[in-house]
Amino acid sequence: MTSFLRAPLVSSDDLLHRLRMSFPAGEVERSVTVAGVEVLGVRVPREQARAVWEEWRGRHGRTGWWPYVTLSPPGDATQWHGHAAWDAGVLGRWVGEAASQDHDARAASVLVSACRWAVEEVANVDDDFDLWRSDYDPDRLAPLLAPAVERPLQGVSQWATGTRDFFEQDWRWVNFVAARGGYEVPVLLPRVYTTWGWAGYGDRGLTPLDTSALLRRWHEQWGAELFFADGSYLELVVDRPPLDPRGAAQVAAELRAYCHDTVDDAVKTGDTMARSTMWSLWWD
């Protein structure tokens, strides 16, 4: 365990033992990045992945290890050659900044930057700029949405337990990282999934610190938790999604700013995914 990491409540050896006891017939693996970030995992049937994740999410407060569902074993998460660019010094700075940054302000800056990029780079001279801005301004977007609903819409996993696209295989991995919450995982494992413009070399686009800020904001406001991460795919389980138009507009605007590949219609998203218990995102 490297010095910049928050020590979990149980050691990796202890967690490995618990996983082997809980899944005696399952494949269990442990690996470590060049920066010293340990990843443990167990392979489970696809249809059991959600239940296993829920069980171990419930234990997070007693273990300090955050679970996420993926297609690949820990070795694939840690041995990617690009990790050499993120040594302990780099990740140490990122972890420190993620813990101390004003995540609400950083999340808001992502929204502003996305709006500016859309208006200046994407919209053409014939477009209605007010309509463009409404996609990123919750106050403009809210009046366009349906009235409040009484209960959250039931979200369905497309990739963690579903078979959409390339996810028809029968097995999933539930991997574990020592973190305060799922919002720290993209900082500790910068390639756990990839967003638009993020290649890890400082190019224009979203960074792991932007992602951490947004995930932490959504965690605190809506109970959104990192559930599935693989390649350019992400799913969040949402315990308290917004039911009213203003809250749904905020979520839809922020999801559009974060992932315009998936959220190409802010009104539709505000009436559907934003008010559901599962947010599924994909970057082209």
Each residue's pLDDT tens digit, 114-162: 887 777 766 565 556 566 678 899 999 999 999 999 999 999 999 999 8
Q: CA–CA distance from 150 to each of 115, 120, 245, 276 (Å)? A: 31, 38, 12, 12
pLDDT in the model for residue 198: 46
Give me the torsion for CA of 109, 110, 113, 115, rounded to 10°. Answer: -110
Low-confidence stretches of the chain (pLDDT < 70) are 1-4, 80-85, 121-132, 196-204
Q: CA–CA distance from 195 to each of 44, 55, 88, 153 (Å)? A: 26, 28, 23, 26
* Alpha helix ranges (H) inside 23-87: 49-58, 60-63, 74-78
pLDDT in the model for residue 114: 85
pLDDT in the model for residue 199: 41
pLDDT in the model for residue 129: 59
Q: At what angle do helices 103-117 and 208-222 cross, to 10 degrees?
A: 110
Q: CA–CA distance from 201 to each of 10, 188, 191, 242, 272 (Å)? A: 34, 16, 12, 35, 35
pLDDT in the model for residue 200: 38
